Amino acid sequence: MKASLGAHCDDFYVSSRIYLKLDLSLERETVLHFFERIRREYPSMRRMRRRDDGALVLEESDMAGRDGRAKRWVRLEPGAIRFGFFAPPTPEDYRSFGELLLDNAPCHLTLSDLDIDYLEVVYGFDLVYAGNHDRLVAETLYADHPFARFLLGHEAAHTIDCQPSFGITLNGMCDTQAYLEVKSRTTTYEVRTGDFEDQLLSVYLTIRRYWGFGEPTDLCKAYGQLADLGEQLAARRVVPLVVKPLAHAIASRP
């Protein structure tokens, strides 16, 4: 997958979230049985920790390392189940990991179809850039747009906020949606002083499905459908129209 969707960025990852209407019962036995089931399939996932916010995490290694190696993780929160794959080698690797979790979560964590609010799959593209992220986005994505007269006009000493965010529905019922967001991390201090540090400029594609519309759907089946939609949108729209132009713009900067 890094060789395809992640070919034009420094870091690529896929994460998912099941947002729940009722809090999970994060009791010791429940959590350990669920995590042990995951570890039987992926023995390298042996680091368990509790976050300051009370969430429980099982992961392969120190996620702060960001050394380009593939890393899986799962996090249990009172109101959500999150999991992800940093630098997945292929789509099949991420899908099989997600399917294992979603196949086992209902019985181990006592999930009901009534309890699910939505399921989402997020594709993240990070590009390292030491410069004004907002100006870069404005010049790259809005140069020929009417917004450029405001963002890049003679009145603009600096562009300090250009983080486009869009949402569309993928069907007539509006229960399946897609969101595209560009996240800048440049501070006004950096803009004012001209002293820029390497920061991650992120592009996020989120595919989300809300429950309660039509007939109940199996979690694994819904997850596969969202992954299909996400991979298609990423390959046809997000990478060629957003990620690749930003990567080329960064490469052209001195």
Banded model confidence at residue 22, pLDDT cuts 50, 70, 90:
very high
Helical spans, DSSP H, in 114-218: 133-141, 148-151, 188-193
**Inside any domain, residue 79:** yes
**Inside any domain, residue 42:** yes
**Inside any domain, residue 150:** yes
Mean pLDDT of the chain: 93
Region 100-121 average pLDDT: 93
**Inside any domain, residue 218:** yes
pLDDT at position 61 is 72
**Inside any domain, residue 2:** no
The 10 Å Cβ neighbour count of residue 144 is 7
Q: Which domain holds residue 214?
A: 11-252
What is the percent of the chain with per-residue pLDDT over 90, rounded to a whole number?
86
Report whether pLDDT(30) > 60.
Answer: yes
Banded model confidence at residue 99, pLDDT cuts 50, 70, 90:
very high
**Inside any domain, residue 63:** yes
Of 16-25, 41-50, 61-70, 110-119, which gets the smallest average pLDDT?
A: 61-70
Distance CA 119, CA 112 (A): 13
Tell me how many domains the chain contains: 1
Distance of CA 246 to the CA centre of its chain: 18
Lookup: tokens for 48: 């368990």
**Inside any domain, residue 5:** no
